[in-house]
């Protein structure tokens, strides 16, 4: 079919969906389920799994028609880990049964997901993780501790990597699982941040039994599966679609326009520089999403995530300086368990404090610099003396 016919088919299906399920009289969840079944959830996914096997670029055709009709969305910020990380991994490595079971309630938002990857002793060096999964018949018994787990207090499911063979080098003895967060032995504890909130957690796994049917990919091949998750994570964090002056640059630009008494020559020049860099990053993100049409995300997503973290921190720092004493105010340092991270709907002090985590979450900036250097620029890899050493023999 020609691209025009593809677009016409998407429009036809969208209009049929709206006619059969008018948004004004259809419940939100029922509408989203019908949209998934019509193949309009993510059009580039296979038929029967929320898609039409269509080019990814045609998603905007369906989205525009649905938005114009006042159709509800699936609250993507609330289920971002499921959409941006779990779904592409399940699609790439899951069995047919796993895809049918998990993708529809994930996209509709009936089931929230979290990520059980990082550990207290294996953050930047994720492959050094120590959480163990031991086979017991048709189940795996998991023991260990995970940390920095966003949304664990809300999640029904988690993507989990654990060590299944300590006799192999650290990248080889890992397997990838889907963990039910409601199972016995899963304990979630809040981690209070510098903002006063606890949006993420530490998770303790004690004798948690995971059926082998919830394993993604072959035993011992979990690092390959996890790399798919991580590449998609970095794109979802650093390459999300935003309008001009979206994100952190928006509030400081509005303050500059509306509060001329705060302006100085120094902050003027710095704001201009950061505005241009933010716009370059936004346009680069658009190009990256166009490249995704041809295949899976690559290491370029690491560069976008690097830029996202640096810009957020520099912009929020400028905003606090621009506001002077007012920028030191902090609205409400209260222990809450938020469902969403709201970067732009809060005060400048919150943005300044919360942005400090941007260079850690989704892969530390130091690790991402290595990825860009080696896989984008082709520079020599750093020496890795532990690459071929059995995990059990590594010093910890």
User: Minimal CA–CA distance to 40: which of 69, 60, 68?
Assistant: 60
Q: Which helix (H) or strand (E) holds 147?
A: strand 139-150
Q: What is the DSSP letter of 363?
A: S
User: Minimal CA–CA distance to 40: which of 282, 252, 32, 389?
Assistant: 32
User: Minimal CA–CA distance to 194: which of 382, 354, 18?
Assistant: 354
Count of residues making up the chain:
396
User: Minimal CA–CA distance to 219: which of 157, 175, 280, 169?
Assistant: 175
Distance between CA atoms of residues 229 and 117, nearest Å: 10
Two tokens, residue 193: 């941040």
- Crossing angle of helices 96-108 and 28-37, in 10° steps, is 140
What is the number of alpha carbons within 13 Å of residue 301 lying toward its C-beta? 23
User: How many Cβ atoms from other residues are within 10 Å of residue 242's Cβ?
Assistant: 16
The single residue of 65, 119, 199, 233 carrying the catalytic annotation is 233
Residue 101 three-state SS: helix
Strand partners, 158: 114, 179
Angle at 238 between CA 232 and CA 239, to 5 degrees: 75
187 catalytic residue (yes or no): no
The residues that are catalytic are 233
């Amino acid at each position: 079919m020609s691209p025009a016919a593809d677009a016409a088919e998407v429009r036809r299906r969208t209009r049929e969906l709206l006619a059969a399920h008018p948004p004004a009289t259809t419940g939100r969840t029922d509408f989203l389920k019908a949209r998934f079944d019509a193949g309009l959830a993510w059009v580039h996914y296979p038929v029967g799994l929320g898609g039409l096997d269509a080019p990814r670029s045609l998603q905007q055709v369906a989205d525009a028609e649905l938005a114009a009709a006042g159709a509800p969305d699936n609250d993507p910020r609330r289920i971002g880990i499921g959409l941006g990380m779990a779904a592409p991994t399940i699609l790439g490595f899951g069995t047919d049964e796993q895809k049918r079971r998990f993708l529809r309630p994930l996209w509709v938002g009936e089931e929230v997901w979290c990520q059980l990857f990082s550990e207290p002793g294996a953050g930047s060096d994720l492959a050094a993780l120590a959480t163990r999964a031991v086979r017991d018949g048709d189940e795996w018994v998991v023991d260990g501790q995970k940390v920095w787990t966003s949304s664990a207090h809300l999640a029904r499911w988690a993507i989990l990597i654990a060590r299944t063979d300590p006799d192999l080098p650290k990248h080889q003895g890992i397997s990838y699982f889907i963990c039910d967060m409601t199972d016995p032995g899963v304990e979630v504890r809040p981690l209070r941040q510098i903002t006063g909130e606890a949006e993420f957690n530490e998770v303790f796994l004690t004798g948690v039994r995971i059926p082998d049917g919830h394993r993604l990919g072959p035993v011992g091949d979990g690092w390959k599966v996890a790399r798919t998750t991580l590449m998609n994570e970095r794109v979802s964090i650093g390459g999300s679609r935003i309008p001009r002056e979206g994100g952190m640059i928006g509030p400081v630009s509005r303050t500059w326009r509306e509060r001329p008494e705060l302006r100085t020559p120094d902050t003027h020049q710095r704001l201009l520089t950061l505005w241009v860099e933010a716009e370059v990053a936004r346009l680069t993100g658009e190009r990256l999403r166009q490249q995704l049409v041809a295949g899976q995300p690559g290491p370029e997503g690491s560069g976008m995530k690097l830029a996202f973290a640096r810009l957020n921190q520099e912009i929020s720092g400028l905003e606090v300086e621009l506001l002077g004493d007012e920028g030191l105010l902090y609205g409400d340092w209260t222990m809450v368990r938020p469902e969403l991270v709201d970067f732009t709907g809060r005060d400048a002090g919150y943005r300044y404090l919360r942005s400090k985590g941007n260079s850690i979450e989704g892969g530390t900036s130091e690790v991402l610099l290595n990825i860009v250097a080696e896989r984008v620029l082709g520079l020599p890899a750093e020496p890795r003396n532990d690459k071929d050493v059995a995990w059990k023999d590594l010093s910890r």
